[in-house]
Amino acid sequence: MPYSTITGIGHYVPKNVVTNQDLTKVMETSDEWIRERTGIEERRYITKGKETTSTLALEASLKAIADAGINKEDIDLIIFATLSPDYYFPGAGVLLQRELGIAKTEIAALDIRAQCSGFIYGLTTADAYIKCGMAKKVLLVGAEVHSVGLDFTTRGRNVSVIFGDGAGAVIVEATEDESVAVQATSMHSDGTYAEKLSYMYPGAHGGYFLEKYAIEGFDVDYSEKLNDEGYGGYFFNQNMIDNNRIFPYMEGQAVFKMAVRKFPEVIMETLTKAGMEVSDLDMLIPHQANLRINQFVANTMGLKDDQVYNNIMRYGNTTAASIPIALSEARDEGKIKKGDNVVLAAFGAGFTWGAVVLKWGRD
């Protein structure tokens, strides 16, 4: 049975740096308020009209392909993790295929919608495809453009100050050498808390779940839902705009409490699957949602500062892109070396969470 290994990696972030101080010009907040609650100092935003989720992914992908020393035509599967696709449909995977200029290869391209856990879900999927012989060279991308869909007013500050744009990509290839391969993976979800961290409008639910589960703060208004013939109208309408329902929603405390519990659990679960203990871990690269969460997890597990890589202070939360960007930077900075035991872990909307234990195979 073949194993899977990361042979190439790259990341790309837009050139536009937006500091906490910049955000004070459009909402009531402060650099101190943002740093204290999130650890974020700045983030990157795209140039509107010139960059998209897929174009960020293209830049990261080209770097990963070059780093792996392969031709783009060698790729036999594209996995694209994002919660901010260019279009509602088709998915971002086929758009990236087109941007790479390999549409005529007619390889499969699929999208992963697991939010902050997207890269973990994607890497687990790539590992499974390779192990069963259905793929040999997989391009896995995590890319996000949040800046075009946030509420840049005081009303939306609790969410809007957190997120940034960026992309990271890896080439995952088949190998017979288990010593440089993915050792174990875990994926979990609990839809009980789906609305605690969500972006519900536009959407096809028409208020159904909000009524069924009595979701507070989202009273259903059926006005403008249907046209005169009784069709359409509630996927997207003026009522949603007028009532500011077209922005992300988050109950921060609920997310924090769940994250600090599930992060250590899934890391330990996956280390156990790999036959390892915390003492075997060389580097933990967690999803970059909140520096306080990552520090709490590190302290809970007894990890030293040099065993955990964080870059949220520079980029904010880039959701599915955060782990591959951090992994790419850690490699570039010499923080991980060949043979190191690396753990990737994420928790996000859904709720979804997961982890991957791998032995780093690159010099």
- The pTM of the full predicted model, rounded to 2 decimals, is 0.96
Q: Alpha-carbon distance 336 to 318, whole Å?
A: 21
In CATH, what number is assigned to the domain containing residue 134?
A: 3.40.47.10
Q: What's the pLDDT score for residue 78?
A: 98
Active-site residue flag, 116: yes
Are 80 and 137 in the same domain?
A: yes
Residue among 116, 237, 311, 341 flagged as catalytic:
116
Q: How many domains does the chain have?
A: 3
Are 154 and 91 in the same domain?
A: yes
Residue 103 in contact with residue 75, Cβ under 8 Å? no
Are 83 and 101 in the same domain?
A: yes
Q: What's the pLDDT score for residue 228?
A: 58
Please name the amino acid found at residue 340. Answer: D
Residue among 20, 237, 317, 341 flagged as catalytic:
317
Of 342, 307, 341, give the one whose Cα is nearest residue 324. Answer: 342
Active-site residue flag, 294: no
Active-site residue flag, 317: yes
Are 58 and 166 in the same domain?
A: yes
The domain in which residue 286 lies consists of 182-193+251-359
Q: What's the pLDDT score for residue 220?
A: 63
Average pLDDT per 10 consecutive residues for the chain, totaling 363 residues: 96 98 97 97 97 98 98 98 96 98 97 98 98 98 97 95 98 96 98 94 83 77 54 71 85 94 97 98 98 96 96 98 98 96 97 98 85
Of 6, 15, 122, 12, give the one whose Cα is nearest residue 67. Answer: 6
Residue among 146, 287, 310, 341 flagged as catalytic:
287
Q: Decide: helix, strand or coil at residue 348.
A: strand
